[in-house]
Structure 1
């Protein structure tokens, strides 16, 4: 398991000299957004200023980091699920426990709303395969 520390949720380091919050406020010297790199960055981000492009670029870096952690957690969940399935089948049980899957679906739905159910279905499929 990773011992990586991270910035508090909502805080993004946009550049070495500017810090942005989830509200978009910046501190430090963010620059004016002029120059070739600022134009290219604004084009990649869809921003209309160099400052906004820096905030977006930093936030996207944070999202990429979060996505890597989520993928790692799903891979860990897949390994744990394989252990559970093996134990269940070795003892003469079925590979899938539908009542447990219903609990997982309800948990995701309660936490994330209707899209959570779809996410849970995908996670369950990744962990146990198609039924």
Structure 2
């Protein structure tokens, strides 16, 4: 179910609805030129990081699938739960509860759902 997305000022993006920051740049949320330029720079770096994360995610999933296939082809088990617990703990220790959620997504991407 899609929800109605609204800017912080209460207007829908691109709707032309008046809001508290009517003169604000639609892309950065501010009309102040220095702040707008800095936001644009920061977002460019965020986009670079996102591209790197996506590439690393895909590489990790492929490597994990290869580990599983190699293990099973040699008569091993589909999963090694102690290894999964180690990964979950590593992410939880570094990132808290969100790290556990992220680790679960990474594990599923590499091995598929249980």
TM bucket normalised to smaller: 0.7 to 0.9
Match of 1:71?
54
1:126 aligns with 2:109: yes
Match of 1:115?
98
CA gap of 1:41–1:55, structure 2 versus 1, over 3 A, is farther
> What is the alpha-carbon distance in structure 2 between the residues aligned to residue 80 and residue 43 of structure 1?
41
Match of 2:5?
none
1:56 aligns with 2:74: no
Greater CA drift, 104-113 or 45-54: 45-54
Q: Which has the higher strand share?
A: 1
Residue by residue, what CA displacement relative to the aligned partner does 1:58-94 show, whole Å, maximum 9, x if unpaired? 1111000000001111111111112110111011122
How many residue pairs are counted as aligned between the two chains? 93
Unaligned stretches of 5+ in structure 2?
1-21
> What is the alpha-carbon distance in structure 2 between the residues aligned to residue 127 and residue 109 of structure 1?
18
* TM-score normalised by structure 1 residue count: 0.66
Tell me, what secondary structure is at the counterpart of 2:79?
coil
* TM-score normalised by structure 2 residue count: 0.75
RMSD of Structure 2 on Structure 1 (CA): 1.7
